[in-house]
Amino acid sequence: MTLNTPAVLLAAAVLSAPVAAAAAHHAFAAEFDRDRPVEVTGTVTRVEWTNPHARFYVDVEDEDGETVNWDFELTTPNILFRQGWSRNSLREGDVVTVKGFRARNAPYVANAGEVMLSDGRTVFSGSGPD
């Protein structure tokens, strides 16, 4: 019996895909601390609709008057779309207020629990400690 190289490569890729996806994902508590809530208001600088988590970045003035760029994690784009988000829900330049939970090991990274948009609507991220 001879092995068909393209078929072997395809089989290997198909079998390894779930392993790669599982390795890329994490439990909330592994990265974020539910005992360290955060609320910031600032200007959206970038939005990334990527898997396994969408992300957005917000420029916020800290207590010293310096601008810091916060990195907020959301859930998957698919879940966000099912909750009513669209690719236009957040845009660069929007002023938003974000409530979430700080990362355990990074000063300006957090999981976004809810986002108050510039039009006053509040949207939920679909991820978090619950």
Domain residue limits at 60: 26-124
pLDDT at site 68: 97
In a domain, 102, yes or no: yes
Query: Is 5 a domain residue?
Result: no
Q: Per the structure, how many domains does the chain have?
A: 1
Give the model confidence (pLDDT) of 33-54 as tens digits: 999 999 999 999 999 999 999 9
- Give the CATH number, domain containing residue 86: 2.40.50.140
Q: Is the peptide bond before 52 cis (omega within 30 degrees of 0)?
A: yes
- Cα gap 78→60, rounded to integer Å: 28
Q: Is residue 66 part of a domain?
A: yes
Please check whether residue 58 is in contact with residue 45, taking contact to mean a CB–CB distance below 8 angstroms: yes
What's the whole-model pTM score?
0.76
In DSSP notation, 66-88 reads -EEEEEEE---HHHHHHTT--TT
